[in-house]
Amino acid sequence: MPLYNHLKEYRAKIDVNQHEMGKLVGVSRQTISQIERGDYSPSVTLALKIAKVFDVPVEAIFTWVDDESKDAGI
């Protein structure tokens, strides 16, 4: 059940690097990097903080795709 994200693209839109993004939401640069690579799924609280930085709904940045929908072509 992978969680996909567009965090890197959103960061680029506001010209913020990983270190600055981490400071904005209270985590390390490494955590932001892991989220962008898909190696770490943020908590709901962290996902909400990230979305708030960009003033968008969480779903604009994070997309969950379950294996059943993917297999069915949905």
pTM of the prediction? Answer: 0.85
Task: Please check the confidence at residue 70 and state whether its pLDDT lies above 70.
Answer: no
SS3 5: strand
**Residue 30: CA count within 13 A, CB half-sphere:** 0
The candidate with the shortest Cα–Cα distance to 18, out of 1, 34, 40, 38, is: 34
At residue 21's C-alpha, the angle toward residues 37 and 18, to 5°, is: 45
* pLDDT (tens digit per residue) in 11-36: 999 999 999 999 999 999 999 999 99
Which residue segments constitute the domains of the chain, with CATH numbers given? Answer: 3-72 (1.10.260.40)
Alpha helix (H) residue ranges in the chain: 7-13, 18-25, 29-37, 44-54, 58-61, 67-72
